[in-house]
Structure 1
């Protein structure tokens, strides 16, 4: 089988974790090739995600690399067994590779923590809001429809997550996207989604001042084990999928700091008189009033 030209993020991550385990065990690429009765090029292609590795061979490598039985061992075995196919496949050709990779990671994540400083996070957007956002970069009508459909389809994972936590900067509430009615429906959507179990939505207010990390939008996707967590950062024409534990820890701490400075989470069940002024729902209701 010829090496694939564009491995998915899951395939790249599996290869990167194998390389990390191999080098940590002090095993050279040539030694690993001997274990599989293969050449060095095959090991290189496996570690870059360009070639798959069978479950039997992966099991052998993990044992030789000293990976102990447990969540990491099982998580890597599951990644190798996974076909990578899902609902996102029907959007190939109309959605960039990074979007498909993100959808696959979201579908397999145990938890998602997201901070957005300019827009409402994609997984919480109404169809009309998503259309208004995407139309700024997509002029083709058919392409726009497909990208909006893809973004709203990503929301199906919300109900199955162990935890979804969004910290949204107040600027995203006040940046006019489309009409006032589109914004009003979008803000009401935030209240609605906050009713879902295991979903937390907080607003980071202007009054907290220029805390520098609030300018950086990012997503932390929880894997089967912390070693398989992923940091996602999007840029105008590209995206970073980062699996480095040190960087992920830095961003996890940043997220916790943002959450601690943000207003209390939206709680639609709370009576108005029980809410404090410094509360996400109170701020949201204030912005809604201004949109009338």
Structure 2
């Protein structure tokens, strides 16, 4: 199989996890290569996500690496061989790669946490809100291009609206709810949509009010996607240099702690719904 020209975040993550496994076993790439009867270049390509790996080879490597975590091995096998192309592939070539990587990541996630301070989280956005947001940020785009971005975002919402949705928690600052990305009618519809989703058993929405004192966590905006096993959790953050997928365990632990700290200062779900109701009446 020839090396890939481009790699998805999933393919890169699979390679990263195999490299972690090898390094934990104290083996060099040349030693791993000899186990498979290949050269070290092929191991490097697998670990960088440039080349794929079969289930038989992956399990052989895991055995030689003395990895006894069958849950992790099974999850890696699924990442390597068991994921068919999803709906997001129709947008390949017309949307940035991180958009597609996020779509795939959250489609297979076991749960999802969002923290946002300036905008309503993407999974809670209405089409009008998303369109206004994309149009403002990308004034050079045609209406057709903007609509494609909006359609993609609306399809992403299926993970919380499908028959078997994933557990979803969102912590939203009052500022994000008050900033009028759309007109009063659109803002009211956006708040009503959040309220409607928050009534679902699998959706939890908490609001951080302006009245909270001693809060300095506004820099913690993030997406946290639970993997099939905890080792495969991922944090997604937008930075001035682009979208970053975080997978190092120390950083994942850091962001889990930050999420709980932000969650602690937010209103409970019932009080948050009451708060959003009051905002709606102000419009």
TM exceeds 0.5?
A: yes
Unaligned residue ranges in structure 1 (runs of 5+): 268-278
CA distance in 1, matches of 2:2, 2:78: 23
* 3-state SS of 1:208 partner: coil
Q: Which moved more, 1:222-231 or 1:130-139?
A: 130-139
Aligned-pair distance for 1:55? 0.7
Aligned-pair distance for 1:216? 2.8
Aligned-pair distance for 1:235? 2.6
Q: Which moved more, 1:243-252 or 1:67-76?
A: 67-76
Aligned-pair distance for 1:70? 2.4
* 3-state SS of 2:79 partner: helix
- In structure 2, the partner of 1:99 is 99
- In structure 1, the partner of 2:75 is 75
What aligned pairs does 1:20-39 form with structure 2 within 5 A after superposition?
20-39=20-39
CA distance in 2, matches of 1:12, 1:164: 25
Aligned-pair distance for 1:237? 5.2
CA contact (8 A) 1:22 1:28 kept: yes
- In structure 1, the partner of 2:229 is 225
* 3-state SS of 1:21 partner: helix
CA contact (8 A) 2:220 2:258 kept: no
- CA deviations 1:47-93 (Å, max 9, x no partner) are 00000001100010011111114211111111111345100001112
CA contact (8 A) 1:109 1:161 kept: no
- In structure 1, the partner of 2:5 is 5
Q: Does 1:198 align with 2:202?
A: yes
Aligned-pair distance for 1:36? 1.2
CA contact (8 A) 1:110 1:161 kept: no
CA contact (8 A) 1:111 1:161 kept: no
CA contact (8 A) 2:168 2:203 kept: yes
CA distance in 1, matches of 2:57, 2:153: 37
- Normalised by the length of structure 1, the TM-score is 0.92
- In structure 1, the partner of 2:125 is 125
CA distance in 2, matches of 1:16, 1:84: 21
- CA deviations 1:141-179 (Å, max 9, x no partner) are 111010000000000011434410000011001111121
CA distance in 2, matches of 1:237, 1:145: 25
- In structure 2, the partner of 1:148 is 150
CA distance in 1, matches of 2:17, 2:210: 40
- CA deviations 1:15-48 (Å, max 9, x no partner) are 0000001011011100111111111110001000
* 3-state SS of 1:209 partner: coil
* 3-state SS of 2:190 partner: helix
* 3-state SS of 2:49 partner: coil
Q: Does 1:259 align with 2:263?
A: yes
CA distance in 2, matches of 1:178, 1:235: 24
CA distance in 1, matches of 2:219, 2:117: 6
What aligned pairs does 1:173-188 form with structure 2 within 5 A after superposition?
173-188=177-192
Q: CA RMSD in A?
A: 1.3
- Normalised by the length of structure 2, the TM-score is 0.95
CA contact (8 A) 1:22 1:65 kept: yes
CA distance in 2, matches of 1:30, 1:42: 10
